[in-house]
């Protein structure tokens, strides 16, 4: 865990304003749609920050930030990959390309998507629906 969560100005200087607006919009939509615990950690070797959405020991997704860019990671287990395959036609070519080229590990397919703008936003929300149904309104 980080001692403190980076503020808006730190994030904008790290990833840039457009990427921060995309980050903020994605976080807002996730928080509106899902009741999740939020954890902010060091991002390991490749990233400065990790912002993870979890509930009951299961991770929904995580956002990552480093100098000049940010990423959105989703890990799909076997059942979730099967569901994705049935819904492939509902995703953009870019999502399909990243899905198809991501490595599948013993615990699932780890897919890192760019989150520097809002161009894939709807696809991200559709991916999350494969992992977990949103809260009822």
Band of residue 94 on the pLDDT scale cut at 50, 70, 90 = very high
Could you tell me which of 42, 120, 126 has the C-alpha nearest to residue 84? 126
132 half-sphere exposure, CB direction, 13 A CA radius:
18
Summarised one tens digit per residue, pLDDT across range 27-61 is 999 999 999 999 999 988 999 999 999 999 899 99
Residue 10 phi, psi (nearest 5): -60, -45
**Nearest to residue 107, comparing CAs of 128, 135, 79?**
79
Q: Give the whole-number percent of the chain exceeding pLDDT 70.
A: 96
Question: Which residues in 67-128 belong to E strands, given as ranges?
Answer: 69-76, 104-105, 108-114
pLDDT for res 1: 60
Rounded Cα distance, 16 and 81, in Å: 33
Q: CA 44, CA 111: separation in Å to the nearest integer?
A: 17
Entry pTM: 0.92
Under the phi-then-psi rule, with left for phi > 0, alpha for psi from -120 to 50, and beta for the rest, what region is 117? Answer: beta
Going from N- to C-terminal start, the domains of the chain cover 8-131
């Amino acid at each position: 865990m980080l001692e403190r969560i980076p503020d808006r100005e730190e994030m904008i200087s790290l990833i840039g304003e457009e990427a921060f607006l995309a980050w903020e919009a994605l976080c807002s939509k996730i928080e509106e749609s899902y009741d999740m615990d939020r954890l902010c950690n060091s991002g390991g070797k490749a990233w400065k920050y990790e912002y993870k959405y979890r509930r009951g020991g299961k991770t929904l997704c995580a956002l990552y930030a480093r100098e000049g860019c940010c990423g959105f990671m989703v890990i799909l287990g076997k059942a979730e990959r099967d569901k994705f395959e049935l819904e492939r036609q509902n995703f953009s070519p870019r999502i399909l390309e990243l899905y198809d080229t991501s490595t599948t590990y013993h615990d699932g397919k780890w897919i890192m998507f760019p989150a520097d703008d809002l161009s894939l936003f709807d696809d991200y929300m559709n991916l999350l629906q494969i992992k977990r149904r949103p809260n009822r309104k």
